[in-house]
Chain A
Amino acid sequence: QVQLQESGPGLVKPSGTLSLTCDVSGGSLSSSHWWTWVRQPPGKGLEWIGEVYHTGTTNYNPSLKSRLAISVDNSKNQFSLKLTSVTAADTAVYHCARRTIPGNWFGPWGQGTLVTVSS
């Protein structure tokens, strides 16, 4: 059973870089799925951030693209998110998830990790 777990700093300073890693266990990143980041700001809905394939190919939310980098490390079976020039608006619970192919659904998901942008 595939499980995902997010890790990274819970506090980032404004204008800094938010960096998170998602560890995948019980399955290989090198499968026919996409590996995704989704966030939920406090009191708001879910927002798709972007995704990466095991080859390194990425798709990004156009509203975040200029600040975003998602990468994959197949040797460690993990993928990562870097978001630069963060502001308070980037404060959110960040989830990693698998976009399962076929079917194109998001799941399984990590529990999520809260990242607060504050000085």
Chain B
Amino acid sequence: QSALTQPASVSGSPGQSITISCTGTSSDVGGYDLVTWYQHHPGKAPKLLIYEVTERPSGVSFRFSGSKSDNTAFLTISGLQAEDEGDYYCCSYAGSRTHWVFGGGTKLTVL
């Protein structure tokens, strides 16, 4: 069982927006602004989408955005495209004992 809880799957049609949630506790997501989001296609290296909850690295589409409320972080993808299909993972700092924890992953299907 992963430390952070994500929905197993989400889906949307091209052009729509979807949001993936990542629920933790006050010891991880809620306690630090150190949430990152990754897109992962099996067999490939994960790709960073969002860091420090809301920051988007250069080269990542503006269609990807992050936010946080209490112990839950969110990744929103707007203007869904077929190429967005894949697995999405959140990750959070969890203190000096546990260090880093990932979510269980969410499979995004573009209908």
Contact = CB atoms under 8 A, between A and B. Distances in A.
Interface of A: 38, 44-48, 50-51, 59-62, 95, 97, 103-112
Interface stretch (B13-21, B67-75, B89-97): B89-97
Contact of B102 (A45, A104, A105): A45
Interface of A is mostly: strand
Contacts of A47: 2, 102
A111 B98 contact: no
Among A46, A104, A110, the one with the most B-chain Cβ atoms within 10 Å of its Cβ is: A46
Interface residues of B, number: 27
Contacts of B55: 103
Nearest to B32: A104
The 10 closest A-B pairs by CB, nearest first: A109-B45, A105-B51, A48-B100, A45-B104, A45-B105, A46-B102, A107-B48, A105-B36, A103-B51, A59-B99
Interface in B45-66: 45-48, 51-52, 55, 57
A61 to B, nearest CB: 7
B1 to A, nearest CB: 10
A41 B64 CA distance: 27
A106 B48 contact: yes
Contacts of B44: 111
B97 A62 contact: yes
Contact of A48 (B47, B51, B97, B102): B102
Contacts of B100: 48
Given A62-B98, A103-B52, A111 B89 contact: no
A109 B102 contact: no
Contacts of A50: 99
A112 B41 CA distance: 12
Contacts of B52: 103-104
A48 B46 contact: no
Contacts of B47: 107
B110 interface: no
